[in-house]
Amino acid sequence: MGKIKILDDQVINIIAAGEVVENPAGMIKELIENSLDANSNKIKIEISSNLIDFKITDDGDGMDRSDLLNSIQRHATSKISTKEDVFNIGTYGFRGEALASISAISKLKIISKIEDGVAHELVSYAGNIQDVRQVNAPKGTTIEIRDLFYNTPARKKFLRKETTELNKIKDVVLKEALANYDVSFSLIIDGKRTFFTTGSGIDKTVFEIFGKNNYKNLDKFSLGFLGNVEAIKNTKDYIFTYVNKRYVKSNLLERAIISGYDTKLMKGKYPFVILFLDLNPQEIDINVDPSKKFVKFSNENIVYKIVQTKIQDYFYEKDRTNWRPNIELSKENKKEDLELDFTKSNDEVFDNLLEINQNILKNNSNYDMKLKEENQLFSKQQGIFEKSDGTNKSYDVLGQVFNTYILVNNHQTSEIEIYDQHIIHEGILFQEFMEEINQNKLQSKPLLFPRIINLLPAEKDIVISNMEIFNDFGFEIDEISENSVAIRKVPDFDFRHSMETVFKEIIGSILKNEYDIPDIRREILTSMSCKGAIKAGEKLTLFEMQNMVRRLHEVGRYTCPHGRPIIVKLTKDDLDKKFGRKK
Ligand code: ADP
Ligand code: MG
């Protein structure tokens, strides 16, 4: 007798469950999509934080007794029937595997009722039906899963730690709720509601999920929402791409979006974008992976072009209507004046902008005058600084070029030194912070009005579970609701970016280095120094430059925290060669 056997259904289902229900979040996604396919208006997801028990309740079409019995059979689906249907899919589900897989690895109870029928309850253990009976229940379906993975302990061992899995679940719910903005979603963890949308349209939903501050930085365009420069991120996590309301990960779409933003993005920075593409189902193949997270387009070039040009066109129009003279803002009016009120109509905002421009022009000419006076005052002054090892450093700060580089004549080496103003300032701040942190001397200052910051669920969890780090860096923070925190104290330091940017940056740093605490601190120091430092393009007074060069020598740190060089040198020899005095 041969060695090959046909596996029995239970084994097949357990194997399939590995793909379909790779983790609890994957299971929740399948269940939500079943509820959506059943035309639900309300979907409630309840889970225990130990990720063992789950319950999902919807008010959708429901199932009658025979459908209920079939629903947990493998390859049993009401959504497709012919092979043509596989290439023309208008529902989330079609493989008929989710309930069979879930039932194979859990204790399952489904209660369901169709519009004019009676409710039934089905109970199954490890895929074996225990009981089916009539019960009382409203229209719709409730699915209860207990003891997930109880008969496959090996699989359970592969789960990541609970917070990671919970974050994945929150992420799944968020992504489903964002696209299905006419459906109300709630996610309840251990009896506490942690996520909620009312299902009242796209604008309200974006507002509910991301909060007011994010919402005001998002512009609506023909394919969804485009974040403005205030909403630039360090990761791709805020690029939400949907094809026919299905969240997909797609390099092609990401590249198209980034190229649509063009020069608005610096290298390594990503926009906040919500993109909904509606394509003829025949133009796409979602059956390329059991998780249905990836998509194949029949014509990649066209899809790329559509996305790229829609974004380019939007910015082209916007930049034209919002055009304003490209002048530097003086320090005084930089912060307050740019706070636009997004509740105002476009016209009002435009007027507001005009007014700001006029103020800037006015203040700027004063600023330039002051600058000239100061420059004259200091133009003769030479900097002499004694380093701690006793050597004298003697140099002349000659001035600033391109509003970015500081020129210094080093008398000792007879070299022209060119410093990048952002980088040297960053290096100085880094060193100062480091000393303050090491000596526990970092001061914080209370805010007159606590600053409310809206966060994604995953971000808020990061803050709560790393409170100690935030405290060390001078923040005092309270959790105030499901998706926001209040900042009461901040580091006593003049950041050139908004406090929110710095705070989010720290969250980003922690997210990046999940495990290594010393590295996190270093990352945070680096990013705080970067945020505090003068930027390229800012005009400096001679006095400021002299101060900076002096501090640089005091600190004695000649590389930037990112490892870039901070001084470029030009010798007399170099110049002689350029001018042909020497070969
Ligand atoms: P698929 O979604 O691929 O069809 P599933 O295993 O997820 O496969 O579900 C099997 C069938 O059970 C579905 O085709 C649908 O008819 C029914 N079903 C599952 N969940 C629900 C629900 N929440 N409401 C109504 N019907 C459901
Ligand atoms: Mg399904």
Give the CA angle between residues 531, 536, 541 to the nearest 5°.
100
Ligand 1 lined by 103 (C-beta under 6 Å): no
Ligand 1 lined by 63 (C-beta under 6 Å): yes
Task: Report the separation in Å between the CA atom of 201 and the middle of ligand 2, taken as the mean of its atom positions.
Answer: 24
133 exposure class (CB count in 10 Å sphere: 0-12, 13-18, 19+): exposed
Ligand 1 lined by 453 (C-beta under 6 Å): no
Nearest C-alpha neighbor of 59 from the set 167, 184, 150, 171: 184
Ligand 1 lined by 59 (C-beta under 6 Å): no
Q: 242 is written with which tokens?
A: 């949907």
Question: What gap in Å lies between CA 181 and CA 206, rounded to an integer?
Answer: 8
| Shortest-distance Cα residue to atom 27 of ligand 1 | 34
Question: What gap in Å lies between CA 98 and CA 36, rounded to an integer?
Answer: 14
Q: What is the dihedral of CA 178, 180, 184, 190, to 10 degrees?
A: -60
The minimum-distance atom of ligand 1 relative to the CA of 100 is: 6
The minimum-distance atom of ligand 1 relative to the CA of 61 is: 25
Ligand 1 lined by 140 (C-beta under 6 Å): no
Bridging pattern class, strands 405-410 and 415-420: antiparallel
Q: 226 is written with which tokens?
A: 């485009």
Ligand nearest to the CA of 77: 1
Rounded to a whole number of angstroms, the CA Rg of the chain reads: 30
The answer to pTM > 0.75 is no
Bridging pattern class, strands 239-243 and 273-277: parallel
Sheet containing strand 128-135, edge to edge, reads: 128-135, 119-125, 107-113, 140-146, 54-58, 42-47, 184-189, 192-196
Question: What gap in Å lies between CA 423 and CA 559, rounded to an integer?
Answer: 8
Q: What is the pLDDT of residues 356-402, one digit of tens each?
A: 333 433 343 333 333 344 333 333 333 444 443 445 567 888 999 99
Neighbours of ion ligand 2 (CB under 5 A): 34, 93, 98
| Shortest-distance Cα residue to atom 21 of ligand 1 | 34
Taking CA atoms, 342 is separated from 43, 214, 349, 359, 379, in Å, by 31, 11, 8, 20, 45
The minimum-distance atom of ligand 1 relative to the CA of 95 is: 3
Task: Report the separation in Å between the CA atom of 115 and the middle of ligand 1, taken as the mean of its atom positions.
Answer: 16
The minimum-distance atom of ligand 1 relative to the CA of 143 is: 23
Ligand 1 lined by 35 (C-beta under 6 Å): yes
Mapping DSSP to helix (H, G, I), strand (E, B) and coil, where does residue 384 land?
A: strand
The minimum-distance atom of ligand 1 relative to the CA of 34 is: 20
In this predicted structure, what is the pLDDT of residue 563? 60
343 exposure class (CB count in 10 Å sphere: 0-12, 13-18, 19+): exposed
Beta bridge partners of 134: 120
Give the CA angle between residues 122, 125, 128 to the nearest 5°.
75
Sheet containing strand 239-243, edge to edge, reads: 218-221, 224-227, 273-277, 239-243, 246-247
Residue 240 in contact with residue 279, Cβ under 8 Å? Answer: no
In this predicted structure, what is the pLDDT of residue 344? 37
Question: What gap in Å lies between CA 173 and CA 177, rounded to an integer?
Answer: 6
In this predicted structure, what is the pLDDT of residue 4? 82
Q: What is the pLDDT of residues 247-276, one digit of tens each?
A: 999 999 999 999 888 767 777 789 999 999
Task: Report the separation in Å between the CA atom of 143 and the middle of ligand 2, taken as the mean of its atom positions.
Answer: 13
Contacts of 122 (CB under 8 A, 6+ apart): 68, 69, 72, 108, 109, 110, 111, 129, 131, 132
- Helices and strands of the chain, counted as H and E runs: 19, 23
Ligand 1 lined by 260 (C-beta under 6 Å): no
Task: Report the separation in Å between the CA atom of 68 and the middle of ligand 1, taken as the mean of its atom positions.
Answer: 9
In this predicted structure, what is the pLDDT of residue 370? 39
In this predicted structure, what is the pLDDT of residue 494? 66
Strand (E) or helix (H) holding 447: strand 444-454
In this predicted structure, what is the pLDDT of residue 330? 34
In this predicted structure, what is the pLDDT of residue 510? 80
| Shortest-distance Cα residue to atom 25 of ligand 1 | 62
Contacts of 144 (CB under 8 A, 6+ apart): 53, 54, 55, 108, 109, 110
User: Residues of the chain whose pLDDT is less than 50?
Assistant: 322-390
- Give backbone dihedrals phi and psi of 403, rounded to 5 degrees, phi first: 55, 25
The minimum-distance atom of ligand 1 relative to the CA of 30 is: 7
Task: Report the separation in Å between the CA atom of 76 and the middle of ligand 2, taken as the mean of its atom positions.
Answer: 10
The minimum-distance atom of ligand 1 relative to the CA of 140 is: 24
Ligand nearest to the CA of 101: 1
Q: Which amino acid is at 537?
A: G
In this predicted structure, what is the pLDDT of residue 286? 81
Question: What gap in Å lies between CA 333 and CA 354, rounded to an integer?
Answer: 14
In this predicted structure, what is the pLDDT of residue 518? 61
The minimum-distance atom of ligand 1 relative to the CA of 71 is: 12
In this predicted structure, what is the pLDDT of residue 357? 36
Task: Report the separation in Å between the CA atom of 77 and the middle of ligand 1, taken as the mean of its atom positions.
Answer: 6
Ligand 1 lined by 68 (C-beta under 6 Å): no
Ligand 1 lined by 23 (C-beta under 6 Å): no
The DSSP-derived string for 244-298 is TTEE---HHHHHHHHHHHGGGS-TT-B--EEEEE---GGGEE-TTSTT----EES
Question: What gap in Å lies between CA 379 and CA 541, rounded to an integer?
Answer: 11
